[in-house]
Amino acid sequence: MVLNIRQREILDLARAAGRVGVEELAEKFDVTLQTIRRDLGELSDQGMLDRVHGGAVLRSGVSNIGYEERRRMHDTAKAAIARACARQIPDNSSVILNLGTTTEAVARELLNHRNLTVITNNMNVANILVSNESCDIMVAGGALRRSDGGLVGDLTTEFMAQFKPDFAIIGTSALDGDGDLLDFDMAEVRVSRAIAGLARKTFLVTDISKLERSAPVRIISMAELDAVFVDRPLPARLMEKCKDWETQVVIAE
């Protein structure tokens, strides 16, 4: 199928933001909601977008969305999640932060914390927190992933294994209905697993859209977490599982 001009522009918007909404598109193009829904349906039929409630997202697959696109996606939700998580991190504590745009949002919320020790394999986290003169930053060695400033590999895992921090704050590329955290890169997954097993408390920071995505590699189960920080309630079945696992679910305001 040949896309019309409006559909090509919709696809460009989705690539830039990760998600598009029916109402916003109808207003932008001055057409009816039904017209936009038909456009999104055709783009979905062509395998270019996935329909979600109220709009569409880039098609999930075996590759991750680009870093810059992920950084812009759901930025308001990520900021709220980060604030809620940072409130649980006291001064004078040690924290591991792994890869992800939401963990980077948490780093920004830690800029006014005092006497922190931060261990990270995320160059972006280190660059954010360098502005906090009361924060000691320890950066893992490893292979630098230029696409997002992440350090991964066996050297990274070995470095992390030397620590037992008060908190580990991790992100994920996707979540499934069974409560498993999922990712794309096996080297990154090995580091994330190591991090989650080191800390006295392990927190997941993620927006609810991760339930709309899929990835092929399992990290850990939410049963192994102390708390999950999200922007909206999880599905009822998953909320019940978290209750059984004694995994606290914090809904960010």
**Average pLDDT, stretch 69-92?**
84
Q: Which of 187, 236, 183 is nearest to 206 (CA)?
A: 183
Q: What is the pTM (predicted TM-score) of this model?
A: 0.72
pLDDT digits (tens, 9 = 90+) for 29-65: 999 999 999 999 888 877 778 787 788 887 654 345 5
Of all residues in the chain, the percent with pLDDT exceeding 70 is 92
pLDDT score of 116? 97
Residue 191, SS3 per DSSP: helix
> Considering only 1-5, 40-44, 56-60, 225-229, which range has the smallest mean pLDDT?
56-60
Q: What is the DSSP string of 124-154?
A: HHHHHHTT-TTEEEEE--SEEETTTTEEESH
pLDDT score of 209? 83
Tokens (6 digits) for 81: 């999640």
Q: How many CB atoms are closer than 10 A to CB 4?
A: 11
Whether 16 shows a pLDDT value over 70: the answer reads no
**CA atoms of 132 and 21, how far apart (whole Å):** 37
- Eight-state DSSP code of residue 188: H
pLDDT score of 70? 53
pLDDT score of 238? 95
Whether 26 shows a pLDDT value over 80: the answer reads yes
pLDDT score of 63? 43
**Average pLDDT, stretch 141-166?**
88
**CA atoms of 213 and 60, how far apart (whole Å):** 6
Q: Is 230 left (phi over 0), alpha (psi -120 to 50) or beta?
A: beta
**CA atoms of 229 and 178, how far apart (whole Å):** 17
Mean pLDDT, rounded, of the chain: 88
Cβ atoms of residues 211 and 204 within 8 Å: no
User: Residues with Cβ < 8 Å from 14, sequence gap 6 or more?
Assistant: 20, 49, 56, 57, 58
Expressed in angstroms, the distance from the first to the final Cα of the chain is 43
Q: How many CB atoms are closer than 10 A to CB 240?
A: 11
- Residue 220 belongs to what H/E stretch? strand 217-221
